Amino acid sequence: MVSSPPKPTNLSPAKTKAIEENILTPRFYTTDFETAASLDLSTQNTEFEAMLEEMRADYNRHHFVRDEEFNQSWDHITGEGRQAFIDYLERSCVSEFSGFLLFKELSRKLKDRNPKLAEMFSLMARDEARHAGFLNKAMGDFGCTMDLAFLTKNRVYTFFPIEWVLYTVYLSEKIGYWRYIIIYRHLEKHPENQFYPLFRMFESWCQDENRHGDIFKALLRSQPKLWQTWQSKLWSRFFLLTVFATHTLTVHERTGFYKVLGLDPTEFDAEVIRKTNETSLRAFPSVLNTEHPEFFPRLRRCSDLNLEMSKIERQNQPKWLKTLRKLPLQLKIVGHLLRIYLTKGIDAEAIRGTVL
């Protein structure tokens, strides 16, 4: 007889570490709503209208339904694999909920100034809320849920100019797409590693991510200063590097999750980065050269240094001493990232139409 899933509870003190504020924690953002309301979308109007119709159709509305396969006990998933999966669900839930709050607020603020853009943000908020809610229910299967209302009121909000939002959300959605689809395709080939039914939904899930990314591509390309200037080339590579470095550090902090899926964390990280960088050629004026012989070795060295800092943080020492011990490691990480950034990038405009 299949036992019922454990009753969800709020996160215990032992679990709060996964959502503490640090460099790898998904953040909550706010922006300049006046500037957002005045965005001129005329050059991308045809594409924007087509995507608005697609969002209204809501093709995924029936895809996020918990079927009978969820109605069982998951107590057989134990040890490091269980904890790694819960950590993955927590981070993913916070990330999706962060997107929901940003899109919802943009929709509310833009409603009277830019109705079509406000509607688009409202529809994207719908998708993000659906994802966050589904992930929170999945956490309930493992005996813990997140108090999203509490999280809303007690998180620190980081201000980003709307231009930065366009760059970073585009990348967030596209890297999310590649993460989900690579895991989904891997599990299609290795169903023995699909230990939880959530993974079956990753194909539909990643289509939401891809669609959102395409919307932000249109928003970005509607603003010439974000892709036609020398400054935009610098910003593009900066945000790519920031997102890729965060991804590498996060993946290697949570290797247990990927190993349970039968994935090599380093290979998974590299494939996600390569695919996201390649996809960004369609939106950004310049991207990173991921084939440079120093690119991935330097990123991996950053990951190793980050793991060293994590060991220091877990030690029973005064905070000032831990801060002092971590400082040279942080400077080394900055040095590696700076070397990557200063490596000549790839001019997307020069090759657009030949490789895309």
The position carrying tokens 């050629």 is 281
Round to whole Å and give the CA distance between 128 and 237. 26
The position carrying tokens 């030690």 is 315
Contact 147, 224 (CB under 8 A): no
The position carrying tokens 């090759």 is 351
The position carrying tokens 């603020």 is 109
pLDDT of 6 higher than 60: no
Contact 305, 258 (CB under 8 A): no
The per-residue pLDDT for 108 is 96
The per-residue pLDDT for 146 is 87
Question: What burial class does residue 167 get, using C-beta atoms within 10 Å of its C-beta: 0-12 exposed, 13-18 middle, 19+ buried?
Answer: buried
The per-residue pLDDT for 5 is 35
pLDDT of 7 higher than 50: no
343-354 pLDDT tens trace: 999 998 777 655
> Residue 349: which residues within 8 A CB-CB, separation 6 or more?
227, 285, 286
| Tokens encoding 315 | 């030690």
Helix pair 45-57, 115-140: axis angle to 10 deg:
40
Question: What burial class does residue 176 get, using C-beta atoms within 10 Å of its C-beta: 0-12 exposed, 13-18 middle, 19+ buried?
Answer: buried
**H or E element that contains 28:** strand 28-30
> Residue 147: which residues within 8 A CB-CB, separation 6 or more?
10, 11
Dihedral of the CA atoms 179, 180, 181, 182 (nearest 10)?
A: 50
Round to whole Å and give the CA distance between 30 and 20. 19
**H or E element that contains 135:** helix 115-140
Contact 44, 227 (CB under 8 A): no
What does pTM read for this prediction?
A: 0.90
* Rounded alpha-carbon distances, angstroms, from residue 286 to 174, 216, 232, 350: 16, 17, 8, 9
**DSSP character at residue 286:** E
Determine the average pLDDT of the residues in 291-305.
97
The per-residue pLDDT for 119 is 97
pLDDT of 356 higher than 70: no
Q: Domains in the chain, please, with CATH?
A: 31-226 (1.20.1260), 229-350 (no CATH)
The per-residue pLDDT for 14 is 35
The per-residue pLDDT for 279 is 97
Question: Would strands 157-159 and 28-30 be described as parallel, antiparallel, or unpaired?
Answer: parallel
* Rounded alpha-carbon distances, angstroms, from residue 98 to 29, 105, 232, 316: 7, 11, 26, 33
Task: Give the residue from 79, 119, 121 showing the smallest Cα distance to 99.
Answer: 121
Q: For a pLDDT cut of 70, what percent of the chain falls above it? A: 91
Which residue type sits at 215? I
* SS3 readout for 140-151: HCCCCECCHHHH
The per-residue pLDDT for 276 is 98
Mean pLDDT of the chain: 89
The per-residue pLDDT for 4 is 35
182-237 pLDDT tens trace: 999 999 999 999 999 999 989 988 999 999 999 999 999 999 999 999 999 999 99
